[in-house]
Amino acid sequence: MNFIAHNVDLGNGKFTLPDTFPVLESTERWKSIERTIKLMFRPEEIPTLRVVDLGCLEGGYSLAFAKLGMQVTGMDAREDNIEKCEWVKSHFDLPNLSYVKDDVKNLANYEQFDVIFCAGLLYHLDEPSSFIKLMHDQTRRMTIIHTHYSLERDSFYDNQRLSFVQRAVKKVFNLPNNHYPQKYDYRLSEVVEHEGYKGRWFHEFSADSSKKAIEKNAEASYSNYKSFWHTKPEILRCFREVGYRMIFEQYDFIGKYTGWDYTEKHDRGMFVLMR
């Protein structure tokens, strides 16, 4: 099995990504999620909670939720990812953990969940506002979203004086920009309006890419060739307008591993939304 993102401790000194990433359950990101779960739910509630991990990739977070005692479903559209999830699961005795191979856009075909976990997924969708509404409708209690957003004013993308060649040189030699010196260039479009919200387009792959190429790109979109990134004020507005009553942004995972400049460098955040 060739893992690319989730380092899972399989026991007996075996890991899915030895000597690369820290074990997922040891990261501050997971610990912050665990703290949120234990803050929002009583201990006796946790074994009764149904959780779905959308775009579960290699199953690391699904496994971690299951170890807390929750009833967990991991969902991913790619066969290779599901095979990795099932292989990891085979190392543990966790009857409360299961996986389904399905496009997350089909979430409405499933019963409601108490908790929806959407990490590294929303920014791979072409209609994220509609999907936020879908998540709201399909959760009884909580949605956790870890996602990129875009900036309405961003010299990295909006400086019209730079030609394509100048921008390429800027990227190759990692030259500073006016917004943030180490900002990662995601090659976003200009700000436009989509589904009633402002944001920028991110191109995942060409529109004529083969199904095989899409299947092999485990960390890209699945059924759309470009994705829409809300600006931060607009994604917060969307959360509110679809009906979430409480909206929090979580920062306690930011630190040594992610870098204190995490939000400035990556334009990314973790949001906790309550019905």
Does 235 have pLDDT greater than 80? yes
Length of the chain counted residue by residue: 275
Does 118 have pLDDT greater than 70? yes
Q: In the prediction, which pLDDT does 21 show?
A: 87
Render pLDDT for 137-169 as a digit per residue (tens, 0 to 9): 999 999 999 999 998 887 667 665 556 676 677
**Looking at residues 115-134, what average pLDDT do you find?**
98
Q: Are 270 and 144 in contact (CB under 8 A)?
A: yes
Does 28 have pLDDT greater than 90? yes
Domain boundaries, the chain: 9-150+188-274, 157-182
CATH fold group of domain 9-150+188-274: Rossmann fold (3.40.50)
Does 5 have pLDDT greater than 70? yes
Render pLDDT for 176-220 as a digit per residue (tens, 0 to 9): 555 566 677 788 898 999 999 999 999 998 888 898 889 988 889
Q: In the prediction, which pLDDT does 88 show?
A: 98
Render pLDDT for 239-253 as a digit per residue (tens, 0 to 9): 999 999 999 999 999
Q: Are 149 and 268 in contact (CB under 8 A)?
A: yes
Does 115 have pLDDT greater than 70? yes
Nearest to 55 by CA among 248, 228, 218: 218
Q: In the prediction, which pLDDT does 58 show?
A: 97
Q: In the prediction, which pLDDT does 259 show?
A: 78
Q: Which residues contact 208 (CB under 8 A, 6 or more apart)?
A: none
Q: Is the pTM of this model over 0.85?
A: yes
